[in-house]
Amino acid sequence: MTRPLIGISCYAERADYWIMRDDDVVLLPRTYVDMVLAAGGTPVLLAPVAGGDAAVDLLDGLVVAGGPDVDPARYGQPRGAHTDPPRTERDAADLAALHRALARGVPVLGICRGHQLLNVALGGTLHQHLPDVLGAGTAAAHAAGPGVYAPVDVTTEPGTRAAQILGPGPVRVRCHHHQGVDRAGAGLRVSARAGDVVEALEWAEPAGPDTPWVLGVQSHPERDTTDLRLARALVAAARRTRTSGLRPVAVAG
């Protein structure tokens, strides 16, 4: 069987590269590509542009990658002092791809920002700055510094897809985030935590072979080359849906 096609959402930023300085670019950390390849999938990079969600119709799975904060206007809040300036184009493109994947039953893995965006897409809300909620000391374990993916121990909920894949825990993951899930979106349930921080969300139906494969993790599995369990589970789900047919997710609104 050919490798499943796994789409990965990309950043739209200004960057220096080769002979170019401060240029508009579409980019993605290589670690996402390597993770999908190592798990048995073929990565397909999705540019954050209007109409790019049409590519989802050709995919077997979707990774919604990390990156800057989701615009709080998307969940009805003003932007806080610590929240990134909005990436309006990327938010719109990622949400369109995510909704299209859910509507078609394409397996979805949301990573960090992608986990938060999954929640927002289904009507949930976010804590814009965890130190304001948990205190600076507790929140610091999740955001140790620029470019640092710190170890965090998470515990999964029994009977969830996260528990099936990762075990009961504590499971050590790599984190870099200052925001987190507040109220879970419609149809989602919390499936892992690190203390008071929501570390995974998934479809609320009991996890099973016929349950839509929808999982968001606050951590960065692409930064741990020794643990491919999440990526392999996504690729396996992509193979199953390709073979057995897609089951759409009913999304309100």
DSSP string computed for 14-25: EEEETTEEEEEE
Tokens standing for residue 183: 């109220």
Question: Are 202 and 215 contacting, i.e. CB atoms less than 8 angstroms apart?
Answer: yes
Cβ contacts of 51 within 8 Å, gap of 6 or more = none
Catalytic residue IDs: 112, 220, 222
78 C-beta neighbours (distance < 10 Å), count: 8
Q: Which two tokens stand for residue 87?
A: 């990436």
DSSP 222: G
Amino acid at 74: R
Are 201 and 213 in contact by the 8 Å Cβ rule? The answer is no
Nearest to 11 by CA among 24, 28, 33: 28
